[in-house]
Structure formats: C-alpha cells, structure tokens
Amino acid sequence: MDLKQEIERRRTFAIISHPDAGKTTLTEKLLLYGGAIQQAGSVKGKASARHAVSDWMELEKQRGISITSSVMQFEYEGYCINILDTPGHQDFSEDTYRTLMAADSAVMVIDAAKGIEPQTRKLFKVVAMRDIPIFTFINKLDRDARDSFDLLDQLEKEFGIGTYPMNWPIGSGVDFKGVYDRGNRRIIAFDEFHSGSQKLKAIECDLSDTETLDSLIGPYQRETLCEEIELLDGASFDFDLEKVRHGKLSPVFFGSALNNFGVEMFLENFLRMTTAPLARTAGDRIVDPFDPAFSAFVFKIQANMNKAHRDRIAFMRICSGKFERGTEYYHVQGGKPLKLAQPQQLMAQDRSIVDEAYAGDIIGVFDPGIFSIGDTVCASAKNQFAFEGIPTFAPEHFAAVSQVDTLKRKQFVKGMTQIAQEGAIQIFHEPSSGMDRVIVGVVGVLQFEVLEYRLRSEYGCEIRRHDLPYQYIRWVDNEEFSFRSLNLTSDTKWVQDLRGRNLLLFANEWNVRWAAEHNETLRLSEFSRA
C-alpha cells in the first residue's frame, strides 16, 4: 500500500461525554468489533471486577472513572482507527482540551435519561472551535429515557447545530424494542444479550407493512413509530455530508453501549461519513497530511505508565507523511536533530514497538525530559516550522504543597516537576523561595487527590497541602516587570512558573479589575500558549 492509501484509511477521533454517560463502555465495544480486545472490562471501582481497558491508572480502577486520556488503535474493515478516550470528569477537562487538538472528529456520548449535562456543554465548545465533524451517540436506551424529540431539540438549541437521526428508537427501558434504520428502511431488534461477536440481523420492513410491524413491535409502538418517522421526514434537517464534515450537522445514533446495541451501525456509518486526517496550521503555512515529509506535535506527556521501568512517554499526533523508526528528525523547540527512541503504538497501557506510522496515527516515544506539550518535530532543520501551540488554561484552585520528609526532597522535586510537565497540574513558586514549598494550581480539586496519590505511589513521597484563598491567576505579558512598582491590592501574590514567567494570583474578580484599572501599562492574559 502506498503512502496516500495508508493515510486515507486512517480515522482519528476523540470520545467525549459527561461522567457516567457510557463513554468508556462505548470505547470498549468499538474495540470488541475491531478484535482489539476479547472481553469488555467493568468500569466499576471494585477490586474483584475487570476494569475498563482504557483506564490504566490504579486510581482510575479504584474510582471507576477516567482520570487521564487513553490512546487505542485497531483495524476494522480496512480502516486503521485511532481512538482517544478522554476523561469525562470536569476536574480533568484540561487533559481533554489537549487531546481534542489531536483528533480529526469527535463522538459525543449523551445519557438518554439526562440529556446534555454541564461538562458536555463545555467540551462541545472546544470541539466547535476546531470546525471538525461531531457525531452524537445517545446512550442507555435500555433504560427509561427522555423523549427523543426533546433530546434533539436540546442538542440543536444548546449547541446551535443541526441534527440528523440516522436511526430512531422504538420505545425505551422495559419497552425498548430496537431502532428503525432510516437510511435502509429496516428495523434492528434489540437483543439484550448481544456480545458483539457477530452482526445483528436487520429486518427489512417498510413502514406501510402493518402486519409485519405489529408482529415485531406491537400495534401501539408501530403507530407511534410511523407518526414519529413521518414527523422526522417532514420537519428535520436534510442530510448534508459537507455540513457534517464541518461540524454544522451532527448525525445522531440511538443505542445501548452496555448491551452492544447500535454500536455496529454507528461505527460503520461513522467510518463512511468522517474524513481522512485533516490539514494542520503552522503559522501561515498549511501542512497537508499527504505531504511525504514527516511532521508531528506533542499533545500529551505521561510519566510512569510502566511501573517496571518508571519511564516517561510523549504522545505525538503525526500530521504529515510517514514516520520511520531509526530515522533522524528535527525537534524545533529544542533546536537539534534527534531519533525518536522506542516508538510505540498503544492500547491504553499496553504497547508495541512500531517501525512505521502515518499521518493520523498517534505514537508514543520515550522522553528523557526534552519535550513539552505543544512541541513540533519535523523532517529537517532546513524546512522547519512549528504547529500552533496548545493553550494552557488558567487553574481555578490553588494550594501550597511541601514534602513531609525533608530527606525526600529529591523525589519531591522530581515528582512535582514531571507531573507538571504532563500538564496535569501547574506549579508556581514565589521568586524568593525555591522548590521546597510550591504553589500548585489545578482546574478541578480532584486533581489534588491525584497529585497526592501519584507522589506517594510513584515517587515514594508524602506531602502536606494547605489550600490557598486565590481563585484567579493571570499571566503577565510585559517584558519589563517590577512587582513593587505596581498598584495592587495587598492580598495579590506574585509567582513564577517553571519557565520563569511572571504571574499574579488574585483572591477575587474585584482584585483582577483593580490591577487592570490602576496599572495602565500592565498586560494580563487568562491563558498561555504551551
């Protein structure tokens, strides 16, 4: 297969949702179809249960939630599929933001009983900014659900996009009979015990065939289905593939991921409608994925995935060309050529060394501490460029952290620095102090628990944590900076990050306004490019 054919068959997408909507369950059922796993894991946090294959961190298994993004690749009917499973919990949303930068499309999972929830709303805004296809899987139809038209209406009003139901549910909960496939005019009957090992047989059935419909779903549900399909055909959006590919129209699928119902139909339609890897922007340059020259960017760094080796992996999204093991490439931010060591493709924490990979693929490479999130690797120094940086968002919770055992200072500094470089936390210090007492900023308070757990389990270091009253942080964009010359409220704190950049911590929004209004030349920013 030549370069063009290999890239054309790639599909790279992220799965997003509110916690408990069934995102990780859907991911596993997709892996079942691809033969990547033989048995789905349980996502419950019980010691005796199998755990979701995409949840590799011990704390994820204990809590039964996804804490960090996972990358999984599998083959299905000639396609090479890269799935990015993201944390649903809002306290880990920054990891999701970065992961979405590596995806070419997004699958939004919605609980049919709850509809759109706050975290789904927040994540959708990030997806919408990317102008990428958005597919919706409305899950848990085997349980009592909200009215399907209400769910579509909520999607359209909340997100300002059109919807096109690819199938339509017949009842819900104990009355769930299956779905009507609109495109092929057939019914797929619900099978509660479908394992995913074989295709569900569809029943060809015209809506005018009253006798067949009555035997399948009963007179009442037949009448309801006919009325609803007639209403859909007359009042819903027309299907437009171009709008789908620009995120203006979302194909909607109804099903039950837990029972593996509707997953196969979703996967096959998704692969038909979504695109091969998209072009990327690097300054004023558009990088074509089919350009034979290799290029990639780092969107995630994770330390200690392998307990035996305590290594550190940089996840790269390949944007163009072909990666070849042993070839020398150029690290733009580091300003030097390098060979990407131990190139791997991943199935959550399981890895295999690869000799080649193509645009659209995600690879992990050994990182001795030279990479940062947003870094670009390209073919050579002669033709170098840098992809647009990934934003670092302002944390909303702060705490002073120090090690309990002063003899563990080396482990404390190493652990704090490595976890911060992953982007899971942000660390700051007052210019007069070193790393003995640092200020940690996080997007959500659960990140503090993850920090304590990882420092204890991965670095053997116990910490003390003292929560601070600050709620806002701003990057100082001025090149010349003198804290003492500024007119600020007494509780405003000056800190610096790992790169020595200046920032200000504020206790409330009023203090932020005071700083802006009483210091005309002071330039503050809510986020920083990595």
Residue 55 confidence (pLDDT): 43
Q: The tokens 């990595």 sit on which residue?
A: 530
Q: The tokens 């289905």 sit on which residue?
A: 225
Q: Which two tokens stand for residue 395?
A: 């944390």
Render pLDDT for 280-292 as a digit per residue (tens, 0 to 9).
999 889 999 999 9
| DSSP H or E segment with residue 251 | strand 249-254
Q: Please give the CATH number for the structural domain made up of 391-529.
A: 3.30.70.3280
Q: Which two tokens stand for residue 250?
A: 């979302």
Taking a C-beta distance cutoff of 8 angstroms, is the pair 150, 169 a contact?
no
Q: pTM (2 decimals)?
A: 0.79
| Phi, psi torsion values for 450, nearest 5 degrees | -65, -40
Task: Report the chain's terminal Cα–Cα distance, integer Å.
Answer: 37
pLDDT at residue 42 above 70?
A: no
pLDDT at residue 380 above 70?
A: yes
Mean pLDDT of 337-354: 79
Render pLDDT for 393-450 as a digit per residue (tens, 0 to 9).
678 899 999 999 989 999 998 888 888 877 778 899 888 765 556 899 987 787 888 8
Taking a C-beta distance cutoff of 8 angstroms, is the pair 352, 345 a contact?
yes
Q: The tokens 């593939």 sit on which residue?
A: 241
Percent of the chain residues topping a pLDDT of 70? 85
pLDDT at residue 529 above 60?
A: no
Residue 352 bridge partners (DSSP): 345
Answer positive or negative: Cα dihedral of 157, 158, 160, 166.
negative
Answer positive or negative: Cα dihedral of 38, 253, 274, 362.
negative
Alpha carbon 140 to its chain's center: 21
Taking a C-beta distance cutoff of 8 angstroms, is the pair 253, 137 a contact?
yes
Q: Which two tokens stand for residue 348?
A: 């959550």
Q: Measured between alpha carbons, how far is 244 from 392 in angstroms, rounded to an integer? A: 29
pLDDT at residue 62 above 60?
A: no
Taking a C-beta distance cutoff of 8 angstroms, is the pair 395, 401 a contact?
no
Q: Measured between alpha carbons, how far is 68 from 53 in angstroms, rounded to an integer? A: 13
Render pLDDT for 78-90 as a digit per residue (tens, 0 to 9).
999 998 876 644 5
Looking at domain 7-172+238-273, what is its CATH homologous superfamily? P-loop containing nucleotide triphosphate hydrolases (3.40.50.300)
Percent of the chain residues topping a pLDDT of 90? 47
Neighbour count for residue 115 (Cβ, 10 Å):
19
Q: Which residues contact 66 (CB under 8 A, 6 or more apart)?
A: 23, 24, 52, 54, 55, 60, 85, 86, 87, 88, 89, 92
Taking a C-beta distance cutoff of 8 angstroms, is the pair 528, 393 a contact?
no
Mean pLDDT of 38-50: 41
Residue 499 confidence (pLDDT): 81
Domain boundaries, the chain: 7-172+238-273, 280-378, 391-529
pLDDT band at residue 454, thresholds of 50, 70 and 90?
confident
- Average pLDDT over the chain, rounded to an integer: 84
Nearest CA-CA partner of 469 in 511, 435, 508 = 508
Lowest-pLDDT range of 20-29, 183-192, 345-354, 358-367: 345-354
CATH topology match: 7-172+238-273 vs 280-378 = yes
- Domain 280-378: CATH class, spelled out: alpha beta
Q: CA Rg, the chain, in Å?
A: 25
